[in-house]
């Protein structure tokens, strides 16, 4: 009887998972209809998804190159990485960065 009960639990589990998959697919279909005629909303949603993925420190997100191009994230990612390098101060977006002056050690060398 134990094997029969376990088999029934597994069957119920598969039914629940299948139902959840159906509901998720319906939600995605509904969302795609909402974004179909509104590319700006889709663009903002995609950018929000990237932001949410990167919000936690130390997280990494893989974004297809087409998404990077359409969202303009290549330049943004480059500027972010540049700004994180010690001794480099970005001037303005789209311009070259300049080296920051070395920190003074307080010895007052002449």
Q: For 55, which DSSP code?
A: S
Share of the chain above pLDDT 90, in %: 27
Q: Is 94:109 a contact under the CB 8 Å cutoff?
A: no
Q: Is 47:71 a contact under the CB 8 Å cutoff?
A: yes
Position 100 confidence tier, pLDDT thresholds 50, 70, 90: low
Longest dimension (CA), the chain: 91
pLDDT at 88 over 50: yes
3-state secondary structure of 88: strand
35-62 per-residue burial string, b: 16 or more CB within 10 A, e: under 16: eeeeeeebeeebbeebeeeeeeeeeeee
Q: Which residue has the higher pLDDT, 59 or 35?
A: 35
Q: Which residue has the higher pLDDT, 78 or 46?
A: 46
Tens digits of per-residue pLDDT, 22-49?
999 999 999 999 888 888 888 888 888 8
What whole-number distance in Å separates Cα of residue 35 and Cα of residue 56? Answer: 27
């Amino acid at each position: 009887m134990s094997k029969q009960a376990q088999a029934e639990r597994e069957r119920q589990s598969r039914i629940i998972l299948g139902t959840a998959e159906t509901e998720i697919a319906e939600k995605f279909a509904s969302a795609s209809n909402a974004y179909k005629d509104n590319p700006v909303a889709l663009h903002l949603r995609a950018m929000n998804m990237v932001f949410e993925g990167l919000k936690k420190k130390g997280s990494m997100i893989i974004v297809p190159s087409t998404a990077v191009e359409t969202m303009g994230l290549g330049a943004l990612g480059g500027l972010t990485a540049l700004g994180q390098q010690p001794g480099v101060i970005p001037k303005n977006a789209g311009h070259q960065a300049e080296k920051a002056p070395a920190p003074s050690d307080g010895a007052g060398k002449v």
